[in-house]
Structure 1
Amino acid sequence: MASFQYSGRHADGSAASGRVEALSKAAVASQLLDQGITPVKVELTAPSEDDKKSSKAGQIRLFERVTLDELIMFSRQMASLTRAGVPITSGMRGLANTIRNPLLESTLNTVADDLERGNSLSTTLNKHPKLFSDLYVSMIHVGENTGQLDQAFSQMASYLDLERKTARSIKQATRYPMFVMAAIAIALGVINVFVIPAFKSVFESFGGEMPWQTRVLIAISDFTVDWWHLILGGLLLLGYLFVRWKKTEDGRRKWDRIKLRFPLVGGIFYRAILGRFARTFSVVLKAGIPIEQGLSIVSRAMGNLYVGEKVADMRKGIERGEGFTATAHRTGMFSPLVMQMLAVGEETGRVDEMLADVADFYEEEVEYDLQNLSSVIEPILIVAIGMMVLVLALGVFLPLWELSSTING
């Protein structure tokens, strides 16, 4: 991305200036408007020596990452430091000296350098989108302008902590069925490649007509043994094409929509995303961010492009003069009960509080569904294992029983 120098005005009329990275001037203007800054001048700048060094460091640290736990700890520590009156630059450098993650350490030192050059904290954090999301940057921007930076860091720490708990719950609930399905796949592969060929030689040594179930199993096993390299290559090719397709905007949109229709877990994923929307939007509104700008921020924080576009459509409806509840109803995302809660919040002027209640409602539903997911999936897995055993019994042991009957007869 290119680097742009900008100057503009905040909503209160104060001057704003700095540097941002974006694909074009239009993208810069869009970023600034989302942050509540009206751009006056945007110019393309040549990369500085620091930018070149940072680019080289970014290439070296291509596979390094900052975990959610580390970001939560950083947010909590910054909240404590700013609340205690420690200067932001000193706080950043102090944390950089105590952090073990090289990527986060380098980023905090870079942020401190930019702050010493006179850039605002939100503008500086916006240069590191892999670490700090649009929501994070916007919350810090509001905290800077209102003099409540410690509360902004504290709110982000609480929000990220809820995100972590939800992600852990989903992983724990899906770990068992995924493990069982992987075990079944490995067992089928071992049976196809090693077990059935051994039985094949035994059957052929005795001669006679084998049952059709056995012939089908032997044909599948022969195909697997003879063409395993093509099967493996085909699977790898399909995986590569799938990853390439998923990285395109259209592919990601379709895949994000397909995920919400998965049997058993699709509904859980959908309610978890709606809970994230309600929680994020509640945090944004409580911070004092305008509703149109807030919806734009939230649409990019969904983690699901399909739902994010629906949220972006809500912003367009509100810009046309429609009410919040009306635009939410048109998306078809929320249940009638939630729509009633949102309508009450809009009528009483407490939309942020009602959104927090909606988030609690969805999060409780997701937690309940996750607790019961194993009890729903276990019978399905048992049936699948039973079907596998039945097929093997008919295909492998049936001819042995017939052979034993013939010998005894």
Structure 2
Amino acid sequence: MPTYQFEAMDTEGQEIRDVIDAPTEDEAVATIRQMGYFITRISEKKARAKAAGKAGSKGGRTFAIGGVSSRQLTTFTRQLAILQNAGLPILRSLKILEKQSKPGRLKNSLMDVCEDIESGAGLSEAMSKCPKCFNRLYVNMIKAGEAGGALEVILLRLADFMERDEDLKRKVKGAMIYPAVVITVAVGILTFIMIKIVPVFKTIFDDFELDLPPPTQLLITMSTAIVNYWYVIPLIPMALVLFVKLLRKFRQGRMGWDLFFLNVPIAGSLQEKNILARTTRTLGTLIASGVPILECLNIARDTSGHAMFEKMYHNVSESIKEGESIFKPMEENCRAPFHPVALFLWMLFPALPAAALMIVPGDVAQYAPTAIGVCAICGALWYFMRMKRRVVELFVTNMIDVGEETGELDTMLFKVADTYDEDVSVMTESLTKLLEPILIVFLGISVGFIVVSLFLPLVSLIQNLS
């Protein structure tokens, strides 16, 4: 039976080094935990020299690309809170977690934090020097915990906040997997039919010199375009993504795009609720931790990731500097303003599908300019109808007003965040259930159109032959 050497901490914070016999490492870990120890390191005894050699080569800083994943940071925060609750000094807790961390950005940052603390810096000051690992929200909450002498409570609250945020992201991403797979399969099937099946029928029709009906002409035109210009298909979504990225590089372009997307049916509402859930939970967590209100609003502004909400929180912050409450300026900035870029986008995107009529053979192509104009006007009318609606619902501002009056603003913000978290979960599940039949119907209509278009000339041919 293998022998495992381990290092652990007992409930009083004393370091323990011992060995244990177990069939597997998992069973060894389970046995040690049953003894009431917190494991910091474990390895098989016979491989100790080899492991030590590897540790020596990787013990220092390693080259790391990118930041730290939210799941990794959440786990670190939860473990740090447990160690602090056990009464360990902060430096010792950080060194324990640094030793058990895998080589990467987090391990490098923890080494830097430990060095700064040994030099006399505070935890929040040391973490602020590692912005790729610890953001402003994280640093300010740690700073508030240090000032209030309740660091372990703040760490637990921070871990809870990060776990809720991660769960919400996971639900949204998970709900989008099935529609993405169905769309990919549908596009693959339709592309295969257009490239391999339709050209065979085109050859048959050409050999018999048949007069093709308009649906068949449209299908063959589309097939020929796909066969000859297949490389354009992946370029279209790439060009759209590049266009949006370039547009968002400019301040007014970013504001225009964000206001455009906010008015997209279902998707815009989902984004709005998601942002409100995230920012209100951020505000509530920071206020409950004792962070100054202006700093809370600035951090909430940065976490929104949306130009319109950033402007709203900025205006609220400026009003508070002049002695206002949060409720009044938020109520004044709760509606989306008019923006020319958003209007242009709402005229452009509906008109793009109508532009496809220009490639249709026959008399249909002459109606393309009219169709483009009608679609652009409809897009503009939709934007003007949706432009002045409330983005921040009355429920949010009323809850904030009540919270300010009763002195329980953080509690009210948490309730708002919980409500919107639930709304996002329900909307995501409903959207997934709605997309499933829509995609199936779309695929059925597409295949049905192809089948009918191909068999109409064949029916005519059979009638002529008979």
Q: TM-score range by the shorter chain?
A: 0.7 to 0.9
Matched, 1:392 2:416: no
Q: Calculate percent identity across the aligned residue pairs.
A: 31
1:381 equivalent in structure 2: 439
TM-score (norm 2): 0.70
Distance 1:209 1:337 in 2: 63
Distance 1:248 1:300 in 2: 17
Q: Which of 95, 105, 108 does residue 107 from structure 2 map onto?
A: 105
2:197 equivalent in structure 1: 195
1:297 equivalent in structure 2: 299
Q: Which of 385, 403, 414 does residue 345 from structure 1 map onto?
A: 403
Distance 1:126 1:342 in 2: 30
1:181-260 maps to which residues of 2 (within 5 A)? Answer: 181-229=183-231, 232=234, 236-260=238-262
Distance 1:234 1:324 in 2: 44
1:322 equivalent in structure 2: 324
Q: Which of 68, 87, 91 does residue 70 from structure 2 map onto?
A: 68
Distance 1:338 1:241 in 2: 34
Q: Aligned-pair distance for 1:231? A: 5.2
2:169 equivalent in structure 1: 167
Q: What's the CA shift string for 1:4-63, capped at 9, x where partnerless?
A: xxxxxxxxxxxxxxxxxxxxxxxxxxxxxxxxxxxxxxxxxxxxxxxxxxxxx89x423x
Farther off after superposition, 198-207 or 270-279: 198-207
Structure-2 change in CA distance of 1:233 and 1:277 (3 Å)? closer
Structure-2 change in CA distance of 1:301 and 1:238 (3 Å)? closer
Question: Contact 1:253–1:305 (CA<8 Å) still a contact in 2?
Answer: yes
Matched, 1:311 2:321: no
Aligned residue type for 1:104: L
Q: Aligned-pair distance for 1:394? A: 2.9
Higher Cα Rg, which structure = 2
Aligned residues: 350
Question: Contact 2:210–2:457 (CA<8 Å) still a contact in 1?
Answer: no
Distance 1:165 1:343 in 2: 29
1:354 equivalent in structure 2: 412
Structure 2, unmatched stretches of 5+, are 1-60, 335-390
Matched, 1:91 2:93: yes
> In structure 2, the residue corresponding to 1:61 is in which secondary structure?
coil
Q: What's the CA shift string for 1:368-404, capped at 9, x where partnerless?
A: 2222222322343233223312321232222222223
Question: Contact 1:278–1:356 (CA<8 Å) still a contact in 2?
Answer: yes
Structure-2 change in CA distance of 1:174 and 1:123 (3 Å)? same
> In structure 1, the residue corresponding to 2:245 is in which secondary structure?
helix
Question: Contact 1:260–1:269 (CA<8 Å) still a contact in 2?
Answer: yes
Distance 1:308 1:285 in 2: 19
Q: Aligned-pair distance for 1:278? A: 1.3
Q: Aligned-pair distance for 1:71? A: 0.8
Farther off after superposition, 166-175 or 384-393: 384-393
Distance 2:312 2:129 in 1: 27
Q: Which of 134, 156, 159 does residue 157 from structure 1 map onto?
A: 159
Q: Aligned-pair distance for 1:114? A: 1.7
Q: Aligned-pair distance for 1:315? A: 0.8
Q: Aligned-pair distance for 1:340? A: 2.5
> In structure 1, the residue corresponding to 2:263 is in which secondary structure?
coil
Structure-2 change in CA distance of 1:223 and 1:271 (3 Å)? same
1:2-151 maps to which residues of 2 (within 5 A)? Answer: 60-62=63-65, 64-151=66-153
Question: Contact 1:134–1:300 (CA<8 Å) still a contact in 2?
Answer: no
Distance 1:233 1:303 in 2: 27
Distance 2:241 2:299 in 1: 32
Q: Aligned-pair distance for 1:142? A: 0.7
Distance 2:245 2:221 in 1: 32
For the aligned residue pairs, the C-alpha RMSD in angstroms reads 2.2
Aligned residue type for 1:364: E
Distance 1:352 1:109 in 2: 34
Question: Contact 2:274–2:424 (CA<8 Å) still a contact in 1?
Answer: yes
Farther off after superposition, 314-323 or 397-406: 397-406
1:368 equivalent in structure 2: 426
1:27 equivalent in structure 2: none
Distance 1:178 1:262 in 2: 19
Distance 2:239 2:414 in 1: 45
Distance 1:211 1:262 in 2: 37
Structure 1, unmatched stretches of 5+, are 1-56
